[in-house]
Structure 1
Amino acid sequence: MFKRLALAAVLASASAAAFAAPLTYKIDANHTSVVASWSHFGFANPIANFGQVDGFITYDPANVGTSKVEVTLPLAGLDSHVADFDAHLRSADFFDAEKYPTITFKSTKVEAAGDNKLRVFGDLTIKGVTKPVVLDTTINKVGDHPMSKRAAAGFDATTTVKRSDFGVDKYAPNVSDNVTIRITTEAMVPKAGADKK
């Protein structure tokens, strides 16, 4: 009897550990927005959306420190809703997208910051320049997605960066050096057999 109870306890413990294991979610570009905003000579606060987002989020609510994020933003997906301005932003005056076609973010540390809050520290690379940034993050929801029937997670995040740190400083300071970035993302565990790279 004792052996059976001990075995049951071990199996229950193993099952709980497996359930609590971190999950890796693939970002759903169709339900993800990365929006930058800035001041234009103090008159307006334009925005640009970085679409076609690709990447993965690993999140473990039981051990937040093991969580990580890796994201690529193709500049081909940049959209300010003004085609001429998009072309200017992609030009050598700003992002020089022909030479540097992507922006990347790779986390270096994740820590809890209160109820449903995280601070995600990481390296942001723009135009070949890498600088540390911190994303103040809200956990929107973690659970089974009603449509895909797969595990899903959703997050919002904000940060502010200085574009001059990355050599994207044309017209500063009249066009503000500080750029606010707001992110909302939905991500799902990939289908069985899908490429996780």
Structure 2
Amino acid sequence: MTKTTWSVDTAHSEIGFSVKHMMISKAKGAFDNFSAEIEANVDDLTDSKVEVKIDASSINTRQEGRDEHLRSADFFDVENHPTITFVATDIKKKSANNYDITGDLTIIGTTKPVTVDVEFEGQSKDPMSGDIVAGFSGETTINRKDFGLTWNTAVETGGVLVGDEVKIHVEIEAHKEA
């Protein structure tokens, strides 16, 4: 089967996350700037090439003070580690449209294997551009401490400010390149 190159439409895509805040709620955010190299046959993604690059400084939790703290050496240290990457190393088909994509996730210089549960949402012809467009959704959970993201502080009522588990969700709309 022939692989096709796909370009991510970032206006219709998102890489987001949520993490427990003060042990009682969730803080949510996204990275506004990212790119991906995707070579895939959407009929069978098992032989695909997927490489994602995220601009760590583009973190957006809708609270500038928190975003600045997340960009600091306490968290993403964007001055020394400007890019977060994910490179697929293995793709297994679980059902007709569902895959486990395992790859190397690198955050602040630490690389660990992570498996993302991905669903191929289908493809369509864009009525505006005429492009063939494919949709993908994915989810995974990581422990931030595995990547050296260890900053925390105690809260007065017990527990900590930032939870260890980070849920990551990905929504990708990709255009087939000619």
Taking structure 2 as the reference length, what is the TM-score of the superposition? 0.90
Q: Give, in whole Å, the separation in 2 of the partners of 1:113 and 1:148.
A: 33
| Cα pair 1:107 1:121 within 8 Å, conserved | yes
Which digits, 9 at most, give the CA deviation of each residue in 1:113-135, with x for residues without a partner?
Answer: 11211111100000011000001
In structure 2, list runs of 5 or more residues that go unmatched: 154-158
Percent identical:
35
Partner of 1:42: 23
Q: Give, in whole Å, the separation in 1 of the partners of 2:109 and 2:129.
A: 37
TM-superposed deviation, 1:50: 0.8
Which digits, 9 at most, give the CA deviation of each residue in 1:82-109, with x for residues without a partner?
Answer: 0111000000000000110110100001
Which digits, 9 at most, give the CA deviation of each residue in 1:139-178, with x for residues without a partner?
Answer: 1122332222122211000000111111112117722111
Secondary structure of 1:88 counterpart: helix
Q: Give, in whole Å, the separation in 1 of the partners of 2:43 and 2:71.
A: 41
The structure that is helix-richer by fraction is 1
TM-superposed deviation, 1:63: 4.1
RMSD: 1.6
Matched, 1:84 2:65: yes
Partner of 1:189: 176
- Alignment coverage as a number of residue pairs: 172
Report the AA paired with residue 17 of structure 2.
A
Q: Compare 165-174 and 133-142 and name the one that shifted more.
A: 165-174
- Detail structure 1 runs of 4+ shifted over 6 Å in the superposition: none
1:125 to 106, 113, 120: 106
Please give the residue correspondences for 1:66-81 in structure 2 after superposition, counting only pairs within 5 Å.
66-81=47-62
Q: Give, in whole Å, the separation in 1 of the partners of 2:85 and 2:147.
A: 12
In structure 1, list runs of 5 or more residues that go unmatched: 1-19, 193-197
Report the AA paired with residue 46 of structure 2.
G
Kindly indicate whether structure 1 or structure 2 has the higher relative contact order, using CA contacts under 8 Å at least 6 residues apart: 2
- Name which one, 1 or 2, has greater alpha-carbon Rg: 1
Report the AA paired with residue 148 of structure 1.
S
Please give the residue correspondences for 1:98-117 in structure 2 after superposition, counting only pairs within 5 Å.
98-117=79-98
Please give the residue correspondences for 1:1-197 in structure 2 after superposition, counting only pairs within 5 Å.
20-171=1-152, 174=160, 175-190=162-177, 192=178
Taking structure 1 as the reference length, what is the TM-score of the superposition? 0.82
TM-superposed deviation, 1:64: 3.0
